[in-house]
């Protein structure tokens, strides 16, 4: 067997690094999305709508963002988080999923900036950087269900 045919079976370091980043981002979205539905052992749609409505109300009370804008972002947020967890983990249209992920983190950051929550903004800034890195590495994606 020639050396070139042996090389074709080798997975690049970039592919492994991207897989690790992809799994991390997916798990992060999964836990963030599940958290919106309640607490361990008590997940429900009732919990979800109470939490996101409270979050939207808190943003409105502490910022210049109007209620309608806060609700437009908050109400579908948990569902989008769970969808992103699934699509990123399974490799469904990864480029699009990572762009939506990046936009979600930017939107969440804007909400925290509006209420002047400095600590949370810094953490979300790290998530923005991780999402940008994943988007730059998407050409190294292996093990995907549906390519872009």
Question: How many CB atoms lie under 10 A from the CB of residue 102?
Answer: 18
Domain that holds residue 74: 26-140
pLDDT at 93 over 90: yes
CB half-sphere exposure, 142, CA atoms < 13 A: 12
Flag whether 110 is in a domain: yes
- The separation between CA 96 and the C-alpha centre of its own chain, rounded to angstroms, equals 12
For residue range 97-135, what is the model confidence (pLDDT) as tens digits? 999 999 999 999 999 999 999 999 999 999 999 999 999
SS (H, E, C) 1-22: CCHHHHHCCCCCHHHHHHHHHH
The rounded distance, in Å, linking the Cα atoms of 45 and 123 is: 27
Q: Using 50, 70 and 90 to split pLDDT, how confident is the model at 148?
A: confident
> Residue 3 falls within a domain, yes or no?
no
16 within some domain: no
Q: Is residue 1 part of a domain?
A: no
**Is residue 12, in this structure, part of any structural domain at all?**
no
In this prediction the pTM is 0.90
Q: What one-character DSSP code corresponds to residue 38? A: E
Domain presence at residue 100: yes
Q: Which helix (H) or strand (E) holds 50?
A: helix 45-61
Q: Using N-to-C axis directions, what is the helix angle for 67-90 and 45-61, rounded to 10°?
A: 130
| Domain count of the fold of the chain | 1
Which residue's entry shows tokens 């409105």?
60
pLDDT tens for 50-92 read: 999 999 999 999 999 999 999 999 999 999 999 999 999 999 9
19 domain-assigned: no
């Amino acid at each position: 067997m020639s050396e070139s045919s042996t090389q074709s079976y080798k997975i690049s370091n970039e592919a492994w690094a991207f897989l690790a980043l992809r799994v991390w981002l997916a798990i992060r979205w999964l836990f963030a999305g599940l958290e919106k539905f309640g607490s361990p052992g008590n997940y429900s749609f009732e919990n979800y709508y109470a939490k996101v409505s409270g979050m939207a109300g808190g943003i409105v009370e502490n910022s210049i963002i109007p209620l309608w804008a806060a609700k437009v972002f908050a109400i579908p947020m948990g569902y989008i988080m769970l969808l992103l967890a699934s699509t990123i983990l399974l490799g469904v249209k990864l480029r699009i999923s990572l762009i939506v992920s990046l936009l979600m983190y930017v939107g969440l950051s804007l909400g925290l900036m509006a209420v002047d929550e400095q600590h949370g903004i810094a953490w979300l800034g790290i998530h923005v950087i991780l999402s940008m890195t994943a988007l730059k590495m998407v050409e190294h994606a292996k093990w995907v269900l549906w390519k872009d």
